[in-house]
Amino acid sequence: MQKVKLKQSKAGFIRAQSDDLPAAEIVKKAKAAGITITVHTVHTTRSMARKTGKTMGATTLAGPAQTDKQSDAARSEQQDTQQFVKLVMALGLRRSEEVLAQIREKLASL
């Protein structure tokens, strides 16, 4: 059975280009690579990349995605805290304090 080589997606091709390269130049490069895109496609893909925080060339586009990452970190920390409280409740306060003391000793020895 013959292997089929997958073509690079249009969006992947656009994101692989430098973000300071003009859209018209990207269209020319794509044509040379056998990919048909328009300037509008380049602008749309770049816009979506900014919104999702995907990388363009060697730089990462900052935007609303940065705020989303911070929100995700805050949610994760809150979930960890809730899980810790549940564990303390399940073990009991005295046993939890003993476990924390053991952890402190191990950390101090590092």
**pTM for the full predicted model:** 0.45
Per-residue pLDDT of the chain (110 residues), as tens digits, is: 455 555 678 888 888 888 888 999 999 998 998 889 999 999 998 888 888 776 555 444 445 555 566 677 778 888 888 898 888 888 898 999 999 999 999 999 98
- Which of 57, 77, 59, 75 minimizes the C-alpha distance to 67? 75
Model pLDDT, residue 101 = 94
d(CA 96, CA 103): 11
| Cβ burial 21-60 (10 Å sphere, 16+ → b, else e) | eebeebbebbeeeebebeeebbeebbeebbeebbebeeee
Say what the pLDDT of residue 62 is: 47
